[in-house]
Amino acid sequence: MAMTEDGLSPADFAATAARAIAACAGLTARQQAERLGGDGLLGVTAGEEVGGLDLPAAFAVPVAAASAGLLGFPLLETLLLGRLLQAPLPDVSRAIVSGAACATIAWTNAASAKPEGDRVVLSGCAGRAPCAADVDWLLVRVGDDAAALVPVTASGVTLEPTGLDLAMPEHTVRLDHVSIAERNLLPAGTWPLLQSDALVLRAAAIMGSAEACLAMAQEHASTRRQFGHALAYNQAIRHALARHKLGLESIRHAITRSLFGEASALERNAAFLAAASYGVAISQGALQIHGGMGFTWDVPIHRHLRRILALQAQGDASGLLRALGHRYVAEIEPASEAAA
Amino acid sequence: MTVMEAQQHPDVAAGLLTGEAYRLTVRDWLRNELPASYRSDSAAFSPPTLEQSIAWEAAMHRAGLSGMTWPTSYGGHGRTLREHLIVNQEIGSLAMPDSVNSIGKELAGPIILAIGTEEQKKRFLPAILQMRNIWCQGFSEPEAGSDLAGLRTRAVRHGDIWRINGQKIWTSGAARSQRCLLLARTGPVEDRHRGLALFAVPLDAPGVRVRTIKSIDGKESFCEVFFDEVEVAQSDALGAPDEGWAAAIRVLEIERATNRMYRAWRFQNELRHLISACKTDAVLAGLLADSHYAVRLAETVVDIEVLKAHVETAVDVLVDGGSIGARGSLAKLHWSEAHQRFAILAMELLSKAPLPLAPSVKVALRRFEGIYLASRAETIYAGTTEIQLGIIADRILALSKGK
């Protein structure tokens, strides 16, 4: 695991992040940004020139996992944008890292861009932008692999709430001839880079929620009594919880492996896909173990389930899985008939 | 160079290579020395005889590729667990036969290293690595499969001799073994986990009878072993009663996490073989391009990467001086179920091959029929799925069993 020259480890960030996020309860998104920025959590991986800590991605993982505290703030997107924008748009990056400005990303669909003088005009529709109604800036995909940073208040931008996530509502973004400065159009190759960095943070966020769900299920199974026993007395419940523990540890190990120096796209994809698959199973399983209580609004498992489903869709887990299969098959040569 | 003549690479022998250079040397040696007829992904495949397996594994040992982490004074190579992992990754990447002496190398040997006397270490350990002694494991009994605390085979001490009576079952490879790592009871059955003792029983001792059991794959590896007034010298008792078993349990925990460490990489070799064979047939190649199969193959890829992550994490924990405890159950549970899912997928795909079968498909079908049948045992041996779930619930989640 990575460690700084000062002996700081990613684990040190976990407790700090959990405390900072707990302190955000009841604050508006903008107040949360200022508090988290003040705690140095928004620029963990951003460069020092924009006020960040310039630490390896491993240090952002516990921060992303702590967002399982159901923070109503686009923490993953903020972590990613602080770093992404530090070279092309350092002023915006600095504001995001400090918490003075808020930003998010529309994860699905893409807009088209047309040059118009020294401006660029965007049109189209992009989806799944967490907390878009509470931010100043919005990154959208442009074409196949470019991206553009759009002021949310720009003329022609309309937002429509959608999705299941309660604490961090997603929005569909319509762009109707939205004019932006040319420098806000980021070059080809930006989008795949962003998606690649997002995979592990998304896996970490899912892990945080899955861990919270398993802890609630375990607590419930140990304290709720039926037929004269705690629920955990029953083998069916014990085995279900054991399977969820296997899923959780599988996510954790896959994330750790994806952070090794020599880790490739395959390891990052595997971390997210394992998280998406096991995360849904763990949260749905936790709901089931709670019985009728699990279906109530007050028991927060549904909030985590909603968050995990949103993260799964933002990363297009099913599309990624299919693409991984096609790519894997394409890379293998047919068996040599001579060898056969 | 024949397998018998294969010698230890001088640089590996001198411990001069590390990291990637070491990996490449290991890879080259294995690829050059493993006969094509031993590779189950080859048309020339013909399962090696026992004598050929013994010769091949002895050659691997001379080349520095077994007994990796055992001390050199007992015939090992004194290498690190990370190097052991590298060798396993390379072994897994080839469709190589499994060891005929894995019980000796991965169970009896580590237990003897942990609790054996100096005399026992010198007598037993080099013989295991040099393939002069093949071992089997006599733990399960007809009335004590998963529940070893209920076993009934008795060992009664008479001076320097232990007299053993009882029966073992599911003893893989007993018919080809010279020694049995026997778990027996020195007190009454009611003592459960107390009074259990380990012995290194010579299988040619008077009173030992071995009967093979034919398994669903047509093989006769499973055995029943009967012990009728078998006399075992005190010098073949491993550790004191109780003490020996407690130490063995600790070794077993590590072994569950680290034995056949090559599994994830062999699993990958199998997946790649399946795809490469399907690609030689137009119908099967068309199925590979189908999104349904692309998704199922990708799920297998993710399963394999997760398994690698479990194995590599276990190595990291052990290298850092940590304890694996019950966590080996996580990797075992994941691997056994994931491998069964894959074996079903392989059979499903290959069953759609048009006739006459393409040569590569025929080779794959022969291999995967064997893998499919063998995989049905994987959720049973080394602790069934239900036992692993129980261990995770009891010892990792620490769920209360009480009222």
Give per-residue pLDDT as tens, A158-211.
999 998 999 899 999 999 999 999 999 999 999 999 999 999 999 999 999 999
Contact A332 B333 (CB under 8 A): no
Name every residue whose Cβ is closer than 8 Å to that of residue A85 and which is 6 or more positions away in sequence. A92, A93, A96, A149
Tell me the three state secondary structure of residue B9: coil
Q: What is the CATH number of the domain that holds B312?
A: 1.20.140.10
Do B230 and B195 lie in one domain? The reply is yes
The C-alpha of B267 sits at a distance from chain A's nearest C-alpha, in angstroms, of: 15
A38-80 tens-digit pLDDT? 999 999 999 999 999 999 888 899 888 887 777 789 999 999 9
Three-state DSSP class for residue A152? coil
Burial class (CB in 10 A: 0-12, 13-18, 19+), A147: buried
Put simply, the answer to whether B302 touches A325 (Cβ < 8 Å) is no
Rounded CA gap, A65 and A44, in Å?
Answer: 14
Asked which of B176, B208, B239 is the last residue of a domain, the reply is B239
> Is residue A140 within 8 Å of A106, Cβ to Cβ?
yes
Short-list B235, B333, B310, B83, CA closest to A255? B310
Instruction: For residue A246, list chain B residues with Cβ-Cβ distance below 8 A.
Output: 330, 333-334, 392
- Shared-domain flag, residues B344 and B273: yes
Nearest residue on chain B to A240, judged by CA atoms? B389
Long-range pairs, B52-59, Cβ under 8 A, ≥24: B52/B3, B53/B97, B53/B99, B53/B100, B54/B100, B54/B131, B54/B134, B55/B3, B55/B4, B55/B131, B56/B3, B56/B97, B57/B99, B57/B100, B57/B101, B57/B131, B58/B130, B58/B131, B59/B3, B59/B4, B59/B6, B59/B33
Contacts 24+ apart (CB under 8 A), A317-323: A317/A272, A317/A273, A317/A276, A317/A277, A318/B295, A320/A269, A320/A272, A320/A273, A321/A273, A321/B295, A321/B298, A321/B299, A321/B302, A322/B291, A322/B294, A322/B295, A322/B298
Show the tokens assigned to B189: 């059955």
CB-based contact A322 B333, cutoff 8 Å: no
For strands A103-105 and A137-142, give the pairing.
Answer: parallel
- In-domain check, residue B244: no
Minimum Cα–Cα distance from A252: chain B residue: B309
Q: Which of A219, A250, A277 to mutate to test the interface with B (most CBs of B within 10 A)?
A: A250
| Region A105-186: CATH code | 2.40.110.10
A253 CB neighbours in chain B (<8 A) are 306, 309-310, 312-313
Which residue in the list B106, B253, B255, B378 is annotated as catalytic? B255
Residue A332 and residue A325: Cα distance in Å, rounded? 11
Asked if B86 and B143 sit in the same domain, the reply is: no
Q: Chain B contacts of A230, Cβ < 8 Å?
A: 400, 402-403
- CB contacts of B302 in chain A (<8 Å) are 269-270, 273-274, 277, 321, 324
Put simply, the answer to whether B298 touches A245 (Cβ < 8 Å) is no
CATH number for the domain that contains residue B233: 2.40.110.10
Residue with tokens 């919005």: A138
Smallest Cα distance from A170 to chain B, Å: 27
B235 and B292 housed in the same domain = no
Which residues from A are below 8 Å from B299, CB to CB? 277, 321
Distance CA B32, CA B164 (A): 47
Residues B290 and B171 in one domain: no
Interface probe, candidates B271, B306, B361, B388, chain A, greatest A C-beta count within 10 A: B306
Q: Check whether residue B305 and residue B389 sit in a common domain.
A: yes
Cα torsion angle, B168, B169, B172, B174, sign: positive
- Provide the domain limits for residue B337: 262-396
Domain ranges, ordered by start, for chain A: 10-101, 105-186, 190-330
Q: Which chain A positions have a beta carbon within 8 Å of B279's beta carbon?
A: 329, 332-335
Nearest CB to B397; choose among A228, A241, A256: A241
Question: Which of the residues A248, A257, A264, A268 would you substitute to probe the B interface, choosing the one with the greatest number of B C-beta atoms within 10 Å?
Answer: A257
- The three-state secondary structure class of A60 is helix
* A233–B402 CB contact, under 8 Å: yes
- Asked whether A150 and A184 are in contact (CB, 8 A), the reply is yes
Domain annotation covers residue B321: yes
Q: Which of B206, B239, B272 is a domain's end point?
A: B239
Residue B92 inside a domain? The answer is yes
B388 within domain boundaries: yes
Interstrand relation of B208-212 and B196-202 (parallel, antiparallel or unpaired): unpaired
Number of domains in chain B: 3
In the predicted structure, residue A241 carries a pLDDT above the cut 70: yes
Q: Complex ipTM above 0.90?
A: yes
Whether residue A266 lies within 8 A of chain B, CB to CB, comes out as yes
B114 vs A216, residue with greater confidence: A216
Q: What is the pLDDT of residue B146?
A: 67
Q: Cα dihedral angle (A33, A104, A308, A141), rounded to 10 degrees? A: -160
Between strands B179-185 and B135-138, the pairing is: parallel
Q: Quick one: fold of A190-330?
A: Butyryl-CoA Dehydrogenase, subunit A; domain 3 (1.20.140)
Distance CA(B217)–CA(B210), nearest Å, equals 20
Q: Which of A245, A289, A316, A337 to mutate to test the interface with B (most CBs of B within 10 A)?
A: A245
Q: Residues B363, B275: one domain?
A: yes
Active site residue B255: yes
Contacts of B277 in chain A (CB under 8 A): 335, 340
Chain B contact present for A245, CB below 8 A: yes
pLDDT in tens, chain B (403 residues): 333 343 444 455 455 556 889 999 999 999 999 999 999 999 999 999 999 999 999 999 999 999 999 999 999 999 999 999 999 999 999 999 999 999 999 999 999 998 999 999 999 999 999 999 999 999 889 887 767 778 899 999 999 999 999 999 989 999 999 999 999 999 887 777 778 899 999 999 999 999 999 999 899 988 999 999 999 999 999 988 776 677 677 777 776 767 789 999 999 999 999 999 999 999 999 999 999 999 999 999 999 999 999 999 999 998 888 888 888 899 999 999 999 999 999 999 999 999 999 999 999 999 999 999 999 999 998 889 999 999 999 999 999 886 5
**Chain B partners of A337 at a C-beta cutoff of 8 Å?**
280, 358-360
Question: A53-56 contacts: CB < 8 A, separation 24 or more?
Answer: A55/A2, A55/A4, A55/A8, A56/A2, A56/A259
* Helix (H), strand (E) at residue B125: helix B118-129
Q: Which among B280, B298, B313 has CB closest to A335?
A: B280
State pTM to two decimals.
Answer: 0.93
Nearest CA in chain A to B334: A246
> Does residue B319 sit within a domain?
yes
User: Does B312 fall in a domain?
Assistant: yes
Interface contacts (A, B; CB < 8 Å): 155
User: Cis before residue B241, ω within 30 degrees of 0?
Assistant: no
For residues B266 and B227, membership in a common domain is answered with: no
Contacts (Cβ under 8 Å, ≥6 apart) of A212: A68, A304
Q: What are the backbone dihedrals phi and psi of residue B124, each rounded to the nearest 5 degrees, phi first?
A: -90, -40
Do the domain assignments include residue B304?
A: yes
Say if A241 is an interface residue toward chain B (CB within 8 Å). yes
Interface contact B360-A233, CB threshold 8 A: no
Nearest neighbour of B360 by CB, restricted to A322, A329, A335: A335
The verdict on a CB contact (< 8 Å) between B301 and A266 is yes
Same domain, B139 and B70: no
Closest approach of chain A CAs to the CA of B167, in angstroms? Answer: 31
Report yes or no: A330 at the B interface, CB cutoff 8 Å: no
Chain A partners within 8 Å of B387 (Cβ): none
Asked which of B97, B122, B153 is the last residue of a domain, the reply is B97
- A105-186 shares its CATH topology with A190-330: no
Q: Is A76 left (phi over 0), alpha (psi -120 to 50) or beta?
A: alpha
CATH of span A10-101? 1.10.540
Residues A244 and A214: beta-carbon distance below 8 Å: yes
Beta strands in B218-315 (DSSP E): 223-233, 237-238
